[in-house]
Structure formats: C-alpha cells, structure tokens
Amino acid sequence: MNPSTHPHPSPPREALDFDVLVVGAGHAGIEAALASARLGARTGLISLRADRVGEMSCNPAIGGLGKGQLVREVDALGGAMGRLADATGIQFRMLGGSKGAAAQGPRCQSDRHLYREAATALVHGQSGLVCIEGSAERFLTATGTRASRIVGLVLADGRQYSAKAVVVTTGTFLRAIMHTGTEQKRGGRAGEESAEGLARDLLRLGLRLGRLKTGTPPRLAQDSIDWTGLELQLGDEQPLPFSFATSMAGFPALPQLACAVTWTNASTHAWIREHIHLAPMYAGRIQGVGPRYCPSVEDKVMRFADKERHQVFLEPEGLSTDVVYVNGISTSLPAPVQEAFVRTVAGLERARFLRHGYAVEYDFVLPAQLDHTLAVEKVAGLFLAGQINGTSGYEEAAAQGLVAGANAALWIQDREPFVLARHQAVIGVLVDDLVISQPSEPYRMFTSRCEHRLFLRQDNADRRLTRAAHALGLTSDAALERVQHKEARLHEARALLSQLRESQGLGKPLLEVLKRPDVHWCDLEREHPQLTRLGLDTQTAQALEVDVKYAGYIDHELEHIERIKRQEYLEIPTGFDFLSIEGLASEARSKLDQLRPRTLGAAGRIAGVRPPDVALLAMHVERRRRTASR
C-alpha cells in the first residue's frame, strides 16, 4: 500500500445524492464505506473529522486470540484492516501458536498515528467514495406502505444528503458519558462530542436501545517510565503479516518495538481498595454493564481479592510518539487516585500522566432487531455495524462494517444478500450470534464461540472466502489469482508428498510422516531436496502442514456440517408468530418472540430454548412452508 499515490480530493459540490451513506469513520465505518464503494455504490463517509479515520480509541493493537482470525477473514473479503495493520505494525506476534492451528490468532501493536494516516489515505483514495466532515443529526425517512424507509441524512449544520441506504457506525458515541471518578463529561472518546441527535432519532424510529460500559487505562509519558529491570516482550522473530496481499519482501515495513511487562502489588491494591467508593461503578454512578473479559483494575482487585498481583503491559503507541498505553489497568477512579496507585507499580514510580483512564457509558441498539445482513428489520435501508450493536473491539467492528456496507450496496442494487454461515467464517458466527443476542456485556469474539473452530482458521481464510468475495465484486482479480495460485502450489506439494517416502524411499509416504505432531515441513525439506525445489513460502507451507495434520478431523467436521445443515439452516419465515405455538416452554416462547431467530439452528442456540422446543418449532415451520408452497 502506498498512501502517497492517493490525492485527497475534496468532495465535489454537487455530491448530494448517494446510494449509501456511512456514518462514522471508525473501523466499522471504513470497511462499510470501502465495501460499498467496491461494489459500485456511490458512497459517502461522514465523520466528525475527515482526518480522524480509523482512530484507535482503545489500545493500539490489532488482532489477538479469536480476533486475528476476524482480521484475516476481513482481508480475504477485500477489507482494509489487515493491510493497514501490516503497513503500520510495530510488533507482530502469532498468539496461541503452541495450542494448535485452530487456536492461532495474529496480533500486532500498531503505530496509532500512522494507522490513522494510512486509513485516511485509503478512504480518500477509494474511487466512488466521498468523505464528508460533519455530525449526522437526523435521518430523513419516508413512510412506506409498511415500514419507514431511509431516504437520507441531515447533518447538525443543516446540510442534507439523500441516500438509498445508511450504515450507522457510531461506536460508543450514542449518548456517551465519560467518567473519571465523580467527574462526568459528555463524549464517546476523550476530546470528542457524543452523538445525541442520532440516538434520539433511533428511538423515534422505534428501535430499542440498551446501555453498556467500557473503559480505558491511563496513558503515560515514555520518558517518565523506568524501563530498566522490566521484563520485555518482543515480537516474533519471523513475523507474519495479516494480509494475504502483503508480500514478505519488505515486511515488516516499520522498525519493530518491544513492549514491557510489570505487575501491580499489595500497595497498589491497598490504594484501590481504600478509594473504591470513588469508582463510578462502585458508587452506583454507572448503569451500563462492563465486559468480564476486560475488567477494570478496580474489578480485578475487588473480585479476585486473593490474587496478589496483576500484570500490566506497557505498550508504546508508536514510533514518533511519547505516549505509552498501560494495558491491564483500565480504571475510572479519580485522577489523583489513579496517579497514586499507578506510581506504586515497578517502573512507574515517576510516571507522568498524559491522559487519565476513564469509563465510557453509551447506548447501543439491541441487536436482535437486525437481520443477518445487519439491516434493521423495521426500517428499510438502515444498517448498523460495530459497537453500536453491542460488540467490543476493532476487529469485530471491521467485520460487521464489511458485512453491513456490502449488504447495503447489494440491497440497493437489488442483488442477493451476502450472508456467511457459521461453518464458513468466524464473521458468520459473529453476525449469527449477534442477531439473536441480548448482550449483557459487549460481545467479543472467542474461538470457543465457533463450533467449527477447526475449520475456521486464520491460515485458510483466503481459501474459505476469497472466491465468493470475488464473485460478488468485493475483491480484486489479483486476490483471486493469489488464492488460486496458492491452491495450485498446495496441490503440487501434496502430490509430491504422496510420491516421496521416508528413509531413502523405503518407509512411509511423506504425506503420512507429516501427520505426526512433531514433524514439520522444514524437517522434510532438509531431508528431501525435491521439496525445497518447490520453494513454498512460509504461509503456504504452514497451510499445507495444517491441511495434512488436521485432514482426518476436517473431513469429520465437514461431514458433521453436512449433517446438521438441514436443521441448522431451515429458515423461519419472517413474521412467524412464535406465541401461537402451543406447548412451548414459557421461557422458550418469550425468548423466541423477543429474539426472533431466523433459522432453526439459531433458535436452538438461544439460552432457554431446549431440544423439544426446537422440534416443536421445526414442525410448525415445516408445515407453514408446505402450506405456503402449495
């Protein structure tokens, strides 16, 4: 990627009519706008500041366990996140490496500033995409025969744009309140406004909202930290890129940095316990529910009182910045308390605060009101993606943005919707979980949410998704050629492996040998020069190894998928009256009516809906379909 080749065109004055308008230029908004534009829709991207595209509001890192797979999938579908991360990463690590191929998730530390610049350049350079600076205030709607329909947007300054579809990706900005101790400020991110008008308007359109909480840790000045004696965390010696398009030559593009690990201690905990009544969560000032997987340091200390210390990661935010992100101690205690307890931590004794930690409380739209294209069911033309749907994380947001943006474009073009199934992509699991969920904490992807985890790996995202994406027009011809080439290489290598035998041609075929857990491609290459001549790159060799080692399980898994498909994907007609079914357990009945699953599989995954309820439901659905088809 070369941002400098893209000029930043200012929007032409006559650009008032759009096919798709995207509100918000965070990680969801970027992917939504790019996907929509790639599919040929005239797209506008509205953000408060045109130069703040792809801001990392929380930690400056992309990927991780469960999330790295999402980034690889977004990339395989033509999305931007992987390429942006590759171009701006300052430390790359493959997490979960020892736990098996299905556990692996790539992660990188990013230069926050460069990431934002690269993202800005990318959206400004996308043809068919216009960036608009402003604050979306209100939807323009027309009342159709059945439901409201979106026809455009009005900005706070009165500008009006017409659009056939709108994708809202306002993150944590809906009626957002930031808390630091007893202090409360409006805004979804330090130094920025909250979006009040849109929240009101979503309510006007009849959407049900919920409230969630998330938090950030303090940011410290790099030169105020005593790095000597701290345990360093380095990147992988042979880092691998996120994007299937990134060439290994010249990767990583930036100098690589180390992070450091330090620990809280008894006196840190004492400070926190002593002042816990000043924490907004504990003082009852925050109603929103925070994530259990990312608890505040207050929660860690109070809930796990027997734990003597908690780790603290010191993550530089970039190459040319003094800011260090203090990962692991998200807090909303008052500023003086934060300073006091942070300075009890080894290495941070003289820490200078560049920004204090804070908690953000914000509205989200209960995602059961969405369908699998992330369209709001009751408002035609309205799509939602990202944290507004009750999720957490840049990666989850990007994945949704891509789904929503692509589907908004497909919808106005009157084309088939683009829906990924649970066995096709982690993104499919994400969306499918989301549309029947009632998040009580921000939804984060974990690989254990994916029942077909063995199949949904980071190494095969391209082989799983790129073909379909190309058929839609989401990816380039080059991407398709890449995956075809990779498959051809894999085929070649397999053929060779089944010909060659170990121990001078007397032993087992190498294909069998590679199945052993402790045998790797590079081991075979050393013994068999024929294999070296294939010249497989690291990623292809890795894919081959996984293919061979997991073959038995994958075959089993595919069979299993085939078996469950019929029930799993039996569609429940829209507007199906769950309440009319006699004999459902009452919990199941109300959950079904509330969450309105679209498939039998989804119905079965709702907590409180048991197999007999699903069987009964199946019967009614089948009957309904049969009468309808007659």
Partner 1 sequence: MSTKPAASSAGTGDTILALASPAGGGLRAILRASGPDARSLVAAVTDLGPRLGNDRAVLEGQFHDGRGTIPLLLLWMPGPRSFTREDVVEFHLPGSVPLVEAALDALLARGARLAQPGEFTRRAFASGRIDLARAEAVLALVLASTKAERRQASALLFAGVSERVRACRDLLEDLCATCAASLDFDPLDTGAVDQAALVSGIRGACLALEETLSGTERSSARAHAPKLVLAGRPSAGKSSLFNALVAGAAAGTRPVPRALVDPAPGTTRDPLSAAWNLEGLECELIDTAGDEPERMDLEVQGAGHSSITQQARVLAADHRRSADVLLWVVDSSRSTAGEIARDLPASEAPTLVACNKLDMNPEVGLALAESVRLALPHVTACAVSAYTGAGLDALRAAVRAALSVAPASQPIAPAGSGLEAQAAFHLSQAHQRALQRALERTRQGLSQLEAGASMDLIAHSLRRALDELGSLDGHSTPEDILDRIFARFCLGK
Question: Contact positions toward partner 1, by CB under 8 A?
Answer: 59, 65-66, 95-96, 98-103, 261, 291-295, 300, 303-304, 307, 310-311, 313, 327-328, 446-449, 451, 453-454, 517-518, 550, 553, 563, 565-566, 569, 582-583, 585, 604-605, 607, 610-613, 615-616, 618-619, 622-623, 626
Residue (118 or 614) nearer to partner 1, CB: 614
User: What residues pair up with 260 in beta bridges, in sequence order?
Assistant: 232, 314
Relative to beta strand 311-316, strand 259-263 is antiparallel
Residue (287 or 446) nearer to partner 1, CB: 446
Residue (446 or 579) nearer to partner 1, CB: 446
Q: Helices marked H in 16-91 — which ranges? A: 27-38, 67-76, 81-88
Closest distance to partner 1 from the beta carbon of 444 (Å)? 9
Residue (161 or 313) nearer to partner 1, CB: 313
Residue (102 or 167) nearer to partner 1, CB: 102
Closest distance to partner 1 from the beta carbon of 189 (Å)? 19
| Cα–Cα distance, 243 to 73 (Å, whole number) | 9
Residue (29 or 235) nearer to partner 1, CB: 235
User: What residues pair up with 163 in beta bridges, in sequence order?
Assistant: 18
| Cα–Cα distance, 102 to 555 (Å, whole number) | 15
CA 28 to chain centre: 8
- DSSP characters for 109-169? EE-HHHHHHHHHHHHHHSTTEEEEES-EEEEEEEE-SSSEEEEEEEETTS-EEEEEEEEE-
Closest distance to partner 1 from the beta carbon of 498 (Å)? 23
Closest distance to partner 1 from the beta carbon of 619 (Å)? 5
Closest distance to partner 1 from the beta carbon of 58 (Å)? 10
Residue (156 or 261) nearer to partner 1, CB: 261
Check if the beta carbon of residue 372 is closer than 8 Å to that of residue 389: no
Closest distance to partner 1 from the beta carbon of 320 (Å)? 24
Closest distance to partner 1 from the beta carbon of 304 (Å)? 4
Residue (383 or 394) nearer to partner 1, CB: 394
DSSP three-state, residue 333: coil
Q: Which amino acid is at 495?
A: A
Name the strands in the sheet holding 183-186, side by side, starting at the edge strand that comes first in the sequence: 183-186, 177-180, 358-365, 209-216
Token pair belonging to 351: 């820490």
| Neighbour count for residue 585 (Cβ, 10 Å) | 14
Name the strands in the sheet holding 89-95, side by side, starting at the edge strand that comes first in the sequence: 61-63, 105-110, 89-95
To which H or E segment does residue 362 belong?
strand 358-365
Closest distance to partner 1 from the beta carbon of 582 (Å)? 6
Write down the number of H helices and E strands in the chain.
20, 21
Residue (316 or 405) nearer to partner 1, CB: 316
Closest distance to partner 1 from the beta carbon of 416 (Å)? 16
Residue (476 or 567) nearer to partner 1, CB: 567
Relative to beta strand 148-155, strand 379-380 is parallel
CA distance readout (Å), 619 to 583, 616, 627: 12, 5, 12
- DSSP characters for 544-567? HHHHHHHHHHHHHHHHHHHHHHHH
Closest distance to partner 1 from the beta carbon of 490 (Å)? 21
Closest distance to partner 1 from the beta carbon of 562 (Å)? 9
DSSP three-state, residue 61: strand
Residue (356 or 453) nearer to partner 1, CB: 453
> What interhelical angle do 112-125 and 27-38 show, nearest 10?
20
